[in-house]
Structure 1
């Protein structure tokens, strides 16, 4: 086995926008490769056949599905971020909540100093934690 990566399937041509958004929010992150559909398809020209990006060294693969599916992302799979400061967790939570949905509003739930769980504008679920 060569490696293991989380794989995110976007619909509606938003994979590249999501990658750019995530890598702009999280330092030490980058888009590593993008392969796009051409005019011959089968996906819409310019959308992502396959891409790899990294967040703090963790690589993810993603695509823009050219097939409409009956399913999308679920909070049962989430990206967990351990933050260093209150300013960092507050800033990330505020930015990710723009057009997002709170699953657990940012608060002290007893298991950490500050914690928030949300679905962002792309439907990806994030857990943000500031340990004691």
Structure 2
């Protein structure tokens, strides 16, 4: 029963990802923006990051718990230090002169990343937790 529920959750996640891609395509056509491939790449990055986070927060055995806690501490140290320091100069232009608000495609891409990340993390967590029992 739990495996069926887990697989159904994964299927729903892929359907939501497809809907997000369809919405992105529609928005790009309305804005006459040719950056659809960039938006798909951002959504895919959100999806992959979400799967990784969902995988790491749902260990199924005691051995995985030890390994994942070490991996999580390493990833968090990397993300908090080096990655944020390197990302800051790239993110600064988005917030200058209200660019994020004046150009809606940036907000749309951020929303797509967040939606894909959240759905993938929930899917992986549900799938792994469902397989544990």
Which TM-score bucket, shorter chain as reference?
under 0.3
More helix by share: 2
Higher relative contact order (CA closer than 8 Å, sequence separation 6+): 2
By percentage of residues, which structure has more strand? 1
**TM, length-normalised to structure 2:** 0.24
Output the TM-score relative to the length of structure 1: 0.24
